[in-house]
Structure 1
């Protein structure tokens, strides 16, 4: 048995790393890994005399996308050029008769199954559900609390997924891609006699992360997969939910950069964040073609290549400090141009609200 990236696997962009299947810090507790980042943020806040300076980097978005922002609200800002690259979506507030209302709004938007249902305010893939039938839609909507804003988006047919980090300073005519991360969905491959749980325990990586994979596979842990049969271990392309991230920096090309710049400049006053996409092939992505945008994240997003197990701790912190430094520099320029930051305490209130919402969402697929 082996676990392997599913058919979503992208041809290798960097030499394979030998040794540990996890990096030394890949699954550290957040408070340990992010403490130096928080200290760096505080030092920058003192220097710029405003701890919330980064929220002005994308001033038309709530907190600049640091926390509590609406996913659909960002997508709604797209002009005609950018909108062509975004997977079609609609929204719904959970209330009563959710399924019929969802079907009605899907029909108006031309959406058919399969679709992805996800919270409009959220992060790290929490609550994201793949829905293939009306019955699954009913179950997914019922799993959310009432009064929650959801996004219903067409499932993008492309199998591969990537995160593209985009930065454009206000005084620069063009932006750059500072990070490209491939997001592999790991799959178990059966041998005809071991159970799913046995297979998980045999793999060098998954045996270290049983707490991540087993909860969503509870109903299948005792199943025996036929030889060659495979199952994806997770649907959402999020590192903390079990996806495998790989640094794809070598595939950042002038053509891809120009295409993303064209798209992002059609979103008013957007300067900093990660664009999550699904794409057809590496060759097409390098050419800036055949991809669709899942969502656009603001200043709270990371350059996710740091979670490649080949990345050293020094490289990870260098990337974090560079990107958060850029948010302060861009935010300061936007403030000088007349925009305002959201304010420290306003951000804290939205962060607390987001934390409560995340705790109320169902387990992601």
Structure 2
């Protein structure tokens, strides 16, 4: 691991916060980032609906979309009845087990679960906060995941990929002798992250996997949840750039954001083939290649400063051309709701 990978968020991002304040003063606006992608989830910086974003992908990029349905955990319906309702929606959308569940509102991988069967789905429903919504999403069997960060200035014809992060999902492999707990302790990286892996695998830690049996330590493609991020910018080529340039231009008024994709393999990805968009993060996107264990802190801050510099330039241009920004009150209420709900969601897989 790099020495700063798991610093407290407030401490790591302190220089970024100060730089953003500088940009707010320089551009004479606090909410410019909310004018960057006005048609993506209402241009929100926080509290954007994943359902709205996935519906946008399905409408404008159907060949890259994944099937999903939105479920509201209504307090007036008991869990058994809601389970029947959800399975009816799954049947209508032709979504089979296994599938992925995730909160409609939320970030940093909060509440993302891999659901194998009806029992898992019922458990997720029971642990989900009442009167809030979650998504059931088709599981894409590709093991590889990536974050493709795209940016285009509104006055320019073509954009570029400013960050490519290749994500991997750590596993331990059974030897028929050691428990999962012991196998984690034997891995030089995993043993430093027991505070992440142990609670998630609590009921399995003392089991002894069979020889060559693979035990996944994390499913969600989020660094804070234990996924491994690798700087993939050396794999950015003209074909991949043109692919995401065309994809982004098909989305209405989209200039800045990260596509989280599942892809078959790196060879086909570099050719712009065999991948699905599982999520789009807009103005609040991060250049996640900075979490590569070999990346240095100075370059990480340089890249984050650069992306916020671009963000404010695009926001200012769009505002001057009639795009309205989100109100501070609405932003703050969305922020508080996001912080509140993140603590109530089921544990991330």
For normalisation by structure 1, the TM-score amounts to 0.91
List alignment gaps of at least 5 residues for structure 1.
Answer: 1-21
Matched, 1:60 2:39: yes
Mean alpha-carbon deviation: is it higher for 39-48 or for 164-173?
164-173
Q: Give the C-alpha shift of residue 65 in structure 1.
A: 4.1
Contact kept, 8 Å, 1:274 with 1:302, in 2: the verdict is yes
Aligned length: 344
Q: Give the C-alpha shift of residue 192 in structure 1.
A: 2.1
Deviations 1:163-202 (A, max 9, x none): 0001111111222111110111000112222211112122
Listed as ranges, the matches of 1:216-365 within 5 Å are 216-365=200-349
Contact kept, 8 Å, 2:44 with 2:326, in 1: the verdict is no
Contact kept, 8 Å, 2:58 with 2:65, in 1: the verdict is no
Q: Give the C-alpha shift of residue 81 in structure 1.
A: 4.7
Matched, 1:193 2:177: yes
DSSP-derived class of the 2:250 partner = coil
Contact kept, 8 Å, 1:236 with 1:364, in 2: the verdict is yes
Q: Give the C-alpha shift of residue 62 in structure 1.
A: 4.8
Q: Separation in 1 of the partners of 2:54 and 2:320?
A: 26
DSSP-derived class of the 2:318 partner = helix
Q: Separation in 2 of the partners of 1:266 and 1:93?
A: 30
DSSP-derived class of the 2:203 partner = helix
Q: 2:105 aligns with which of 110, 115, 121?
A: 121
Q: Give the C-alpha shift of residue 225 in structure 1.
A: 2.0
Q: Separation in 2 of the partners of 1:148 and 1:80?
A: 25
Please name the residue that 2:90 is paired with.
106
Matched, 1:165 2:144: no
Give the aligned CA root-mean-square deviation in angstroms: 1.3
Contact kept, 8 Å, 1:126 with 1:358, in 2: the verdict is yes
Q: Separation in 2 of the partners of 1:217 and 1:306?
A: 27
**Cα distance 1:221–1:78, how it changes in 2: closer, same or farther (>3 A)?**
closer
Q: Give the C-alpha shift of residue 79 in structure 1.
A: 6.5
**Cα distance 1:201–1:35, how it changes in 2: closer, same or farther (>3 A)?**
same
List alignment gaps of at least 5 residues for structure 2.
Answer: none
Mean alpha-carbon deviation: is it higher for 289-298 or for 99-108?
99-108
Q: 2:19 aligns with which of 29, 34, 40?
A: 40
Q: 1:140 aligns with which of 121, 124, 143?
A: 124
Matched, 1:82 2:61: yes
DSSP-derived class of the 2:331 partner = helix
